[in-house]
Structure 1
Amino acid sequence: MIYVTGERVQAYQVRSAFFDTRWRGLDPAQVHDYLCRVADEMDRLHRELTTARTESERVRQALRQWQSRHNGCRRRGHDD
């Protein structure tokens, strides 16, 4: 498996990872099952991150709009 510093590991990379077998090594089925669980968790976290970023941008835009609408209120002495 090749890992390049700075690149994010994607779920498909975890799912397709392979390891050399050694005498008395790890059970390939257990390794595969575990990697699938890790990949599923990565998929879930990436979806949550995308949702959080989208919501963050929506809130940021709403705040900018609110600030633009109320910017003149301070200059006129209103406390809206």
Structure 2
Amino acid sequence: MPAGNSERGNAEERLVPAAVRAATFAVRWRGLDPQDVYAYLARLADEVERLHREVTTARVECERIRQGLRQWRERHVGCRFTDPQWPHGSQWPKHTNRGPR
């Protein structure tokens, strides 16, 4: 466990790659191999960095989709489906949960 952190950590603290790379550990007799620990931390930091990029990309995409949906709703606020050939008039049919057929 990095020095200065409780076992559970602070819920408000975010795990960022720079903090993982800068983590230090208390020296103990017969402790872990420092090279193994820091190699693992480097891999962990790379993974955290990749995940941060994925989350950022997903948030941008989500906002783009939200914006597109808002624009679509604004353009179609008064639209209704009206087809004289449609057997249910201007209403979409209600689905029932019949299970698998």
The alignment's TM-score, normalised by the length of structure 1, stands at 0.87
Correspondence for 1:49 among 31, 55, 63: 55
List runs of 5+ in structure 1 lacking aligned partners.
Answer: none
Using the TM superposition, give the Cα deviation of residue 23 of structure 1 relative to its aligned residue in structure 2, in angstroms.
1.0
Aligned position for 2:41: 35
Percent identity over the alignment is 57
| CA RMSD after TM alignment | 1.6
Query: Counting helix residues as a fraction of each chain, which structure ranks higher?
Result: 1
Structure with higher Rg: it is 2
The alignment's TM-score, normalised by the length of structure 2, stands at 0.70
List runs of 5+ in structure 2 lacking aligned partners.
Answer: 84-101
Using the TM superposition, give the Cα deviation of residue 78 of structure 1 relative to its aligned residue in structure 2, in angstroms.
4.9
Q: How does 1:52-67 map to 2 (within 5 A)?
A: 52-67=58-73
Q: Deviations over 1:9-31 (max 9, x none)?
A: 11100000000111110000000
Aligned residues between the structures: 77
Q: Deviations over 1:6-52 (max 9, x none)?
A: 11111100000000111110000000000000000000000000000
Which runs of 4 or more aligned residues in structure 1 lie more than 6 Å from their structure 2 counterparts after TM superposition?
none
